[in-house]
Amino acid sequence: MNTRQLLYLITCARTGSIAAAARELDIAQPSISQQLAALEHELKTRLLERDHKGVRLTAAGQRFLPVASTALQQLEGAKVALQESAADPFGRVVIGMTQPTGNALAIPLFADINRRYPGIELDLYTGLSSRLYEQLRKGEVDVLVCPEDASSHMGMVSEPLLTERLFLAVSTRADGDYAQLASRDSLRFSELANYQVMYTSEQDSLGFRVAQYERLTGVRLQRQIPFGQLLTSMRYVAEGYGLMICSTTAAYPQVHQGEVKLLPLIEPDMTRQMNLVYLHEYKQNAAFIRVVEAIRQQCQQLVDDGIWVTTETPL
């Protein structure tokens, strides 16, 4: 007797059909039939009756089903408890990040997890925040490192992570169209209205935040649609063709190479809160807890190293 046999029996009894159980469990019908036959042979009794309508429990099956359900729950609970109490947690955790965040956080986070917790398998999705929230709702992602946007956040927990400053990225090229702008030390939000600036739509986190500042100040910006990939958009800026509102995580390689300068956006200071987001009903295990701890640690390290500039960072 094994847990697969118990699960197959319980599912067949609930669905009333081996075919339906096979679809639900994503298992071939012959495999289910073989396992159930082996279980009946071991118990030396018929548990299911089969006819053209499907399957139903025999009298013996009705007596055995509660025992099977309890046993399966206890075994699964014991497995989870062992995993959570293990010195080396293991399991798969899927993380979602916007591209600017992943640009700085993904590699050190993955390296840290691989070094400290080899039993944890990480997977990563990057993209616009609206898409990430959709993936979280569908259960395709376990946790987001993401700012708020126009998406519905019903049923989600948002734990504050940090508050990042937002900047205007401008090329440092002396012969570029924005050479005079690059000589500035900061830029007032109202001055942004004089330029076409790249940022995402209001459905996504950056455009959502810009719209909030527009309503606060009464200033309407001239939006230029960014390219789909952050690297392409930042290359466009570095070559002197455009401007972009972004965090320091989005531009730190180009800033380090001297290709891009970041001007703080002030009056008012432009900021955005980053959150850890997961579903209310998500069952946290040891792997998830360790990954969340590592995310917080690596974010703080990026702040300490000056890669991620926050409201706590002196300008």
Residues 136 and 149 in one domain: yes
Residues in the chain: 315
Check residue 75 and give its pLDDT.
81
Check residue 27 and give its pLDDT.
87
> Does residue 260 lie within any of the structural domains?
yes
Residues 140 and 186 in one domain: no
Q: Which domain holds residue 116?
A: 91-164+274-304
Check residue 3 and give its pLDDT.
85
Tally of domains within the chain:
3
Check residue 81 and give its pLDDT.
64
CATH at residue 95? 3.40.190.10
> What pLDDT digit, counting tens, does each position of 165-200 carry?
999 999 999 887 888 899 999 999 999 999 999 999
**Do 248 and 255 meet the contact criterion of CB atoms below 8 Å apart?**
yes
CB count in 10 Å sphere of residue 137: 16
C-alpha Rg value of the chain to the nearest Å: 27
> Does residue 185 lie within any of the structural domains?
yes
Residues 172 and 268 in one domain: yes
> Does residue 312 lie within any of the structural domains?
no
Check residue 195 and give its pLDDT.
95
Residues 53 and 104 in one domain: no
Picking from 281, 253, 8, the residue whose alpha carbon sits closest to that of residue 155 is: 281
For every residue of 202-229, DSSP letters joined together read TTSHHHHHHHHHHHHH----EEEPPPSS
Residues 10 and 141 in one domain: no
Greatest Cα-to-Cα distance within the chain, rounded to the nearest angstrom: 88
Picking from 193, 203, 109, 185, the residue whose alpha carbon sits closest to that of residue 148 is: 203
Residues 280 and 160 in one domain: yes
Q: Please identify, among 59, 85, 111, the residue that sits at the C-terminal boundary of a domain.
A: 85
**Do 301 and 107 meet the contact criterion of CB atoms below 8 Å apart?**
no
> Does residue 309 lie within any of the structural domains?
no
> Does residue 158 lie within any of the structural domains?
yes
Residues 246 and 215 in one domain: yes
> Does residue 310 lie within any of the structural domains?
no
Q: Please identify, among 56, 85, 114, the residue that sits at the C-terminal boundary of a domain.
A: 85
Residues 172 and 225 in one domain: yes
Burial of 36 per CB tally in 10 Å (0-12, 13-18, 19+): buried
* Terminal C-alpha separation, the chain: 66
Check residue 84 and give its pLDDT.
55
Residues 192 and 119 in one domain: no
**Do 52 and 45 meet the contact criterion of CB atoms below 8 Å apart?**
no
pTM above threshold 0.75: no
Q: What are the CA-CA distances from residue 32 to residues 58, 167, 298, 300 (Å)?
A: 18, 59, 46, 50
Picking from 296, 290, 301, the residue whose alpha carbon sits closest to that of residue 276 is: 296
Pairwise CA distance, residues 32 & 1, whole Å: 14
CATH at residue 20? 1.10.10.10
Q: Which residues in the chain come in under a pLDDT of 50?
A: none
Residue 270 token pair: 């432009």
> Does residue 314 lie within any of the structural domains?
no
Sign for the CA dihedral angle at 120, 126, 129, 133 comes to negative
CB count in 10 Å sphere of residue 164: 26
Residues 267 and 206 in one domain: yes
Pairwise CA distance, residues 147 & 206, whole Å: 8
Residues 258 and 204 in one domain: yes
Q: Please identify, among 70, 85, 100, the residue that sits at the C-terminal boundary of a domain.
A: 85
**Do 94 and 142 meet the contact criterion of CB atoms below 8 Å apart?**
yes
Residue with structure tokens 């993904």? 106
Residues 142 and 110 in one domain: yes
> Does residue 311 lie within any of the structural domains?
no
Starting at the earlier edge strand, list the strands of the sheet with 196-198: 187-188, 260-266, 167-171, 244-246, 196-198, 222-224
Check residue 226 and give its pLDDT.
92
Rounded to the nearest 5 percent, the helix, strand and coil shares of the chain are 50, 20, 30
Picking from 215, 199, 198, the residue whose alpha carbon sits closest to that of residue 207 is: 199
CATH at residue 199? 3.40.190.290
